[in-house]
Structure 1
């Protein structure tokens, strides 16, 4: 499941990682990548390099020749970055629309491992309007080719307990296995106490699964906010979770699989659930 919004370059990924293992690797993806701002193609390249760096999401770097450099203006901001060296930032200007500090260049990488970044241009994902890999739009951040999502049919007996009550109980779950994340259990609606679910306005987007809509659990006057989600229309690569219900194992009272209470995972979503007392209007 997609976590709170990731910001490329400056923010670290909220995942448990072994601090003794540091990875810095550039690779040519072979994909044509396009960046759009204000309806204008700012960059389009079949020669992008994908940077894999520990504790960061992957980042696309574009050859300057494949970027409309006339749309970039130095912002005056610089930042010293380990391995990559000083980053010089640029505002991206398209007509009346400006993405402040929307792009950066490392002109003199300080480590030989980063030499391939010299003079290449990267963009803040969230500051651009649209990103495409070939002709498919991609959301949130680049898709990591080493990040797998597998959905398997199962006959395990899975129960979810919230506020002391069994909210979901199935012997036909679909289990979603995603690199570096806990197993997620997806339930058919008929095996969920749907009368206890309240739709939420919260939405999130995952580049590997699509857009999720959230649901809260209401028991009596207690409301546990945004503890479950559904992908109504997952991306074509992940059709097996369509319109199934999944819960945050980190926040429910318990997840019980084949009679065994599962250990609560520790992830970016390991926080106390938001429980509110509500009154009928």
Structure 2
């Protein structure tokens, strides 16, 4: 989650509310200085390098980084005739991004007639995440989308009793799960492999990618498809859950201290937009030394 997607405070499905007397506008955009050095790599060249990036949070979207024009390499942007209109920010001009003999059409954009209340984005350009080779904060590559400073993950030990059942079969039984609290999501419970009947798990095709945890593999359990998952090599920041198994409570019975768990609304991640859908092989290689 961040400010504007999943169940964040500016998202359409916000789990909380602002304690104000009058209704807020249906859509609220939020721009803030990133306060981190961010760089863009394209065709083996650094085409943007800035400590003045502004992050735009837009309802229903991941955050997007906007770079000052002065921090973009000369000649990297080639104007095109293609224009669109942003519902909140007005006319938008699109650029071809080029470096050396390589170019990518419609790979960057700029809002050209910003309303007075959105001047933080004046003279700034955003790059389509998928069209670039890579984005970096300092020397570390950032994958998936611009990192959201409001997104947080905490992992805690607990002695609560977690039981997972598939019909009459006990798939997992533990009093030592880890609970992962992630902004905008209900708690997720991770079970040590030693407390899981692994013969009940059948590997499922397909993996998904989380910009904060890494690559997830999935398992079918009896007739329940993708009822469990595991980050077999979780990223350093969440290394404690590596190899552990979590279970989807809308696909299989998950009981915590005798109370059956239910999937909360708004928990499904739906990729959309020009800054999504990184190739999974690329994400796997992104954190390699």
Identify whether the pair has TM-score above 0.5, normalized to the shorter chain.
Answer: yes
1:258 lines up with 2:257 in the alignment: yes
Q: Show CA shifts across 1:226-280 (max 9, x none).
A: 332222332222222122111223x323221100112332235399xxxxxxxxx
Of the three residues 211, 216, 223, the one matched with 2:215 is 211
Distance 1:104 1:174 in 2: 43
Q: How far did residue 136 of structure 1 move?
A: 1.3
Describe the shift of the 1:160–1:252 C-alpha distance in structure 2 as closer, same or farther (beyond 3 A): farther
1:81 equivalent in structure 2 = 86
Describe the shift of the 1:69–1:82 C-alpha distance in structure 2 as closer, same or farther (beyond 3 A): farther
Q: TM-score, normalised by structure 2?
A: 0.79
Residue pair 2:6, 2:184 contacting (<8 A) in 1 also: no
Q: How far did residue 63 of structure 1 move?
A: 0.4
Q: How far did residue 20 of structure 1 move?
A: 5.4
Three-state SS of the structure 2 residue aligned to 1:237 is helix
Please list, as runs of the form range in 1=range in 2, the aligned pairs for 1:87-106 lying within 5 A after superposition.
87-106=92-111
Gaps of 5+ in 2: 15-23, 271-289
Please list, as runs of the form range in 1=range in 2, the aligned pairs for 1:146-225 lying within 5 A after superposition.
146-162=150-166, 165-212=169-216, 214-219=217-222, 222=223, 224-225=224-225
Q: How far did residue 163 of structure 1 move?
A: 5.8
Of the three residues 16, 33, 37, the one matched with 2:42 is 37
Residue pair 1:33, 1:133 contacting (<8 A) in 2 also: yes
Q: CA RMSD in A?
A: 2.5
Describe the shift of the 1:165–1:124 C-alpha distance in structure 2 as closer, same or farther (beyond 3 A): farther
Residue pair 1:197, 1:216 contacting (<8 A) in 2 also: yes
Please list, as runs of the form range in 1=range in 2, the aligned pairs for 1:9-20 lying within 5 A after superposition.
13=5, 17-18=13-14
Residue pair 1:158, 1:257 contacting (<8 A) in 2 also: yes
Describe the shift of the 1:20–1:165 C-alpha distance in structure 2 as closer, same or farther (beyond 3 A): farther
Q: TM-score, normalised by structure 1?
A: 0.81
Distance 1:77 1:162 in 2: 54
2:75 equivalent in structure 1 = 70
1:244 lines up with 2:244 in the alignment: yes
Describe the shift of the 1:164–1:130 C-alpha distance in structure 2 as closer, same or farther (beyond 3 A): farther
Gaps of 5+ in 1: 3-11, 272-281
2:268 equivalent in structure 1 = 269
Distance 1:148 1:119 in 2: 31
Structure 1 stretches of 4+ moved >6 Å? none
Q: How far did residue 164 of structure 1 move?
A: 5.9
Describe the shift of the 1:96–1:159 C-alpha distance in structure 2 as closer, same or farther (beyond 3 A): farther
Describe the shift of the 1:206–1:69 C-alpha distance in structure 2 as closer, same or farther (beyond 3 A): farther
2:281 equivalent in structure 1 = none
